[in-house]
Amino acid sequence: MQKIGFVGFGSMGHPMARRLLEAGHEVHGYNRTKEKASDLLAQGLQWCDSPRAVAEAAEIVVSMVSDDSALEAVATGNDGILAGLDDGKLYVDMSTVSPDASRRLAKQAGEKGAKMLDAPVSGSVPQVEQGVLTIVVGGDEAAYEQVSSLLATWGTPHYIGPNGQGLLLKLAINISLAAQMLAFSEGVLLAERGGIEREKALEVMAGSAIGSPMLKARAKFLLELPEQSWFTLDLLHKDIRLALDSGRQQGTPLPSAHAADETLERAHEAGHGQRDIAALFKALTEMHG
């Protein structure tokens, strides 16, 4: 068992930290809002007053936050994770952020003698609770080997290449996530407005050749959206924007990402940004009267 630091107890970070505690690790943690960690504290989480204190207390530090600005806030500055790293320590950021931002932080970690991996995940709350996430990792391969058994606590890790490559592949995955959810919602709406009961359309479509695990899990949400989102529209929109930025840098055409970007923007403007990505269906019904 290792001393693990964990920063960020959001919808994904919270169950990830809980799995570490259940596995018997000594976990030191920080979250901007301490109340979100109350049940983790009851399970044995050792609270730290800053991300820096987490890094100082742990052998391996993990962060899971929402975007580039949130990562910057927890990783940099006098109280940030980087300030608490020293020679030989390992920092694993599992957030979905821009590859360029992650590479800059990895360079700063290296200057302190530490190593940083980007290890974003594919999957949402049910997958992390079951320990079946797909984890795509960029960075030093020896560092990956050092931490791969820990990553297996949450799912199946895959080494992709140098720093930033895990993030690039995660963005590539989320293009398909957005395109699938949008196309599925369009198809259900077309069927329903043609006189087919929505429930029947969902059952047949999700059970057909197009029924990916993600669509099968979310089909019921097109009947009734959950109060607690597995993955919000705004977070998916952020990822699509990051993918489009990478595409522009490469000169790679991303037509389905552009289509998703437009619809996600309209869904956000209609007030659905904090709903689960299945709210694309509701947004489409509103767009078309």
Residue 103: half-sphere exposure toward Cβ, Cα within 13 Å: 11
Cα atoms found within 13 Å of the Cα of residue 269, Cβ hemisphere only:
9
| Spacing of C-alpha 109 from chain mean position | 22
Q: Where are the beta strands (DSSP E) in the chain?
A: 3-7, 26-30, 46-47, 60-63, 90-93, 115-118, 121-122, 133-138, 155-161
Cα separation, 77 vs 33, in Å, equals 19
Residue 167 burial (10 A CB sphere; 0-12, 13-18, 19+): buried
The count of other CB atoms within 10 Å of the CB of residue 268 is: 16
Specify the 3-state DSSP secondary structure of 278: helix
The span from the CA of 202 to the CA of 197, in Å, is 9
Partners of 161 in the β-ladder:
138
CA atoms of 4 and 147, how far apart (whole Å):
11
CA angle, 20 then 25 then 31, to 5°: 55
Structure tokens at 168: 């690039």
User: How far apart (Å, rounded) are the C-alpha atoms in residues 287 and 92?
Assistant: 41
In this structure, the number of other CB atoms found within 10 A of the CB of residue 100 comes to: 14
> Which of the residues are catalytic?
170
